[in-house]
Amino acid sequence: VPTIGVLALQGDVREHARALEEAGARTVKVRRPDELERVDGLVLPGGESTTMWRLARSFELLEPLRKRIEAGMPAYGSCAGMIMLADRIRGGVAGQETVGGIDMTVRRNAFGRQVDSFEAAVPLTGMGDTPYHAVFIRAPWVESVGDAVEILGRAESGQNAGRIVAVRQGRLMATAFHPELTGDFRVHHYFADLVRRTTEED
């Protein structure tokens, strides 16, 4: 059974831990570099990316996170976590850094004030035939991706139809929405499988 960490600086940590356990993983909270060393994979939860970045910096986790991701640790970021995994962001606060790893440009709070929060059907590649019922909360979207990035999902309907909201690059994945909130844990299953396969390969 792989051990999957949940970055526990800020955000909806408990919901992700529950979803991962439903998906058959063992979970631990990660706040310190030595805790990061012991996990087979990591979830970066939703929350507020500016706060998460500041806390990661003061807990001296930014560099260790970058190093483990470069070394091939699987990671999955949801919403603010997606922002943290982006190589480039738009609409960040002055000086805002990310961990990076996914060759994409992500725009913060992209869907605009009139739709602070909304739900949409999103078909997800490799996660079954039924579209995912996705919950977006002050969500980012992906503006552009490099060649190595596989698009797993786009918003299907409404004014935001076509927007990229789920991606994968090798062992890294990210969604603009919050699959930990709906009781449909296909995304967590997918990630837990990825971590399991990685521990077998390495």
Q: Which residues are catalytic?
A: 79, 178, 180
- Which of 179, 144, 146 has its CA nearest to residue 164? 144
User: Which CB, 47 or 179, lies closer to ligand GLN?
Assistant: 47
Closest approach of Cβ 138 to ligand GLN, in Å? 4
At 111, give phi and psi (nearest 5°): -80, -5
- Torsion 8-3-102-117 (CA) sign: negative
Site residues (vs ligand GLN, CB under 6 A) = 46-49, 79-80, 83, 108-109, 137-138
User: Which CB, 112 or 128, lies closer to ligand GLN?
Assistant: 112
Closest approach of Cβ 171 to ligand GLN, in Å? 22
- CA 53 from centroid of its chain's CA atoms: 14
Give the tokens for residue 185: 């844990």
Rounded Cα distance between 141 and 167, Å, is 11
Closest approach of Cβ 71 to ligand GLN, in Å? 26
Integer distance in angstroms from the first to the last C-alpha of the chain?
A: 15
User: Which CB, 25 or 110, lies closer to ligand GLN?
Assistant: 110
